[in-house]
Structure formats: C-alpha cells, structure tokens
C-alpha cells in the first residue's frame, strides 16, 4: 500500500472510530475499567458529612480548625491490544475482512483509552510475535498503531495465541487491561490464558465471518488454507463434508468458550457483517455493574 492510500485509510478510520469512542463508548469505558486505587489529592476545610477518618490531625492542630484529606481515583491505566494477524484474519465474505474489523475495534478501544488519559500498547502476533508497540498516550501514538494495523505484513501465517499471550505476560509487568482480538481458530492456548488472566484484566474478542459457521452447498470448489498455503478440492455438495466442517467449527468454539470460562475471562463475539458498536457498549455496561 502506497503512503498516500495508507494515510487516506488511516484518516477514514480515525474519523469513524474517534467519533464513536467520543460520543458513545468513552463513558461506558470509564465505568467499566476502574483505576488501581485512591491517591491523595488535597486538604480542605472539614464539612458536615465528611468521613472523620479522613481528618488531617496535623493541619487541624496547626490551624485550630478541622481539615480533612481529599482523595481521588488513580485513573491512569495501561491498555494492551493483542491482535492476531495470522492468515485466517485476512478472510471476509461480506463487507470486510476480519483483520479490518479488528483494526476498527482496536481504534475505538484506543481512542476511548486516551480520552480517559490511559496508555495504549500493541502486540501483533501470528505463529510468533511479529511486533511490539510499547504503551504510550496521545493521538499521534494511536495513529501510529492504526497505521501499523493497516499496513503491517506478518512473516508468519499460522496462529499461536499462546505465544502472543506469553510474550505480553513477560513484557508487561504492571497489571493492565488486555484485549485479545482473534478468530480463535487455534488450540493449545488454555494454559497461557489462565496464567495471563491471573495477573491482568483479560478480555477475549472473537471475530468471525458468517461463512465460517457453515459451508454453503456450491459443489466442487478448490480452497486454500490461509495459514498453511495448502490447496485442496472440497466437495461442498456432500452433506457428510458439510456436517464434518460444522462439527469442527462447533468444537473449536466450544474449546474457546470453555477456555475462557476456566480462566475466568470475559469475552464477546462479533461478526464481520454486523454493526459492532451496540455489542461493545453493552459489554462495557455489563462490566460496570
């Protein structure tokens, strides 16, 4: 993608997602994700109804008037986006690829975070860690993240979610909020999911295309495995073939859901052909309860 086209795409995503995060998501985001505690803000005159446990006795003794300490929430958080760029992410049968939806969601979450003065970082992974962008604040940093998500070309094609999770757990020592954006079309990530969930606030976001749920009956077709590059002929007219595929897909989803349940990880599923904003807002509202 040339620079001019890339900048146009970045600008389009910025306009769309920044507006959504500012007007519809940021308030829910603030409620859903709390700060790490309370910090001292100031001393002021005691007022009726104030908690007597917060009286500053040193200032009170010095002035002869009761003063109380005021505290406020330590609001700054670190938000990490772990984004799966394996071969299967570059598939879409309707409006957009799964990777494009992941980019939009990442932008909405990132703009919501910086609106709340939080830092945002990114881990891009396939069957290996492709790139790490350390968490920072500011609009320029978010635009850099969007550019990387749009233009980055992974060298790996497979999907190893566990590798991305282990890397994040090793490099981010302080507790963070981590969104894992993937189609979760892989296995063997249950153990690292539990490990990361013990230290960080982990959230799984499954992105799927409606065509992936069930094979259409379109006869004999030549298909390519996006993660291995292997081609093969598939007889979609065969009910046995369609049934086996559906069973594989359901088993994969069941593994994902069970892994989330065992790890105590919240998750949501979003389709490439449906509006995602309401689902995201409702998820934040549930978190805030």
Q: Identify the CA nearest to 236 among candidates 246, 221, 247, 223.
A: 221
119 phi and psi angles, rounded to 5 deg? -95, 150
Domain residue ranges in the chain: 3-32+75-208+263-288, 38-73
179 forms bridges with which residues in the sheet? 81, 203
Q: pLDDT exceeding 90 applies to what percent of the chain?
A: 44
Superfamily of domain 3-32+75-208+263-288: von Willebrand factor, type A domain (3.40.50.410)
Average pLDDT over the chain, rounded to whole? 86
Q: Identify the CA nearest to 149 among candidates 110, 193, 205.
A: 110
Take residue 45 and report the two structure tokens written for it. 């005159």
For 135-184, what is each residue's pLDDT tens digit?
999 989 999 999 999 889 999 888 899 999 999 999 998 899 999 999 99
């Amino acid at each position: 993608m040339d620079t001019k086209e890339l900048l146009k795409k970045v600008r389009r995503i910025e306009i769309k997602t920044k507006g959504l995060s500012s007007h519809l998501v940021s308030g829910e985001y603030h409620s859903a994700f709390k700060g790490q505690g309370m910090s001292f803000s100031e001393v002021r005159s005691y007022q009726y109804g104030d908690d007597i446990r917060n009286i500053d006795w040193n200032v009170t003794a010095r002035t002869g008037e009761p003063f109380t300490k005021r505290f406020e929430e330590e609001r700054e958080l670190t938000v990490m986006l772990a984004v799966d760029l394996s071969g299967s992410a570059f598939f879409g049968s309707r409006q957009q690829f799964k990777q494009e939806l992941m980019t939009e969601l990442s932008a909405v979450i990132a703009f919501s975070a910086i609106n709340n003065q939080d830092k945002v970082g990114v881990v891009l992974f396939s069957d290996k860690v492709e790139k790490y962008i350390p968490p920072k604040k500011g609009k320029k940093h978010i635009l850099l993240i969007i550019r990387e998500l749009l233009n980055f070309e992974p060298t790996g094609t497979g999907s190893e979610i566990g590798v991305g999770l282990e890397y994040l757990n090793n490099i981010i020592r302080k507790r963070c909020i981590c969104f894992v954006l993937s189609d979760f079309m892989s296995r063997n990530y249950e153990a690292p999911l539990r490990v990361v969930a013990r230290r960080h606030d982990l959230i799984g976001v499954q992105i799927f295309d409606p065509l992936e749920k069930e094979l259409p009956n379109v006869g004999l077709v030549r298909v390519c495995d996006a993660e291995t590059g292997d081609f093969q002929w598939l007889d979609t007219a065969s009910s046995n073939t369609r049934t086996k595929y559906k069973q594989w897909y359901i088993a994969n989803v069941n593994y994902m859901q069970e892994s989330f349940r065992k790890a105590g990880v919240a998750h949501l599923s979003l389709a490439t052909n449906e509006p995602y904003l309401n689902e995201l807002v409702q998820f934040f509202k549930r978190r805030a309860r």
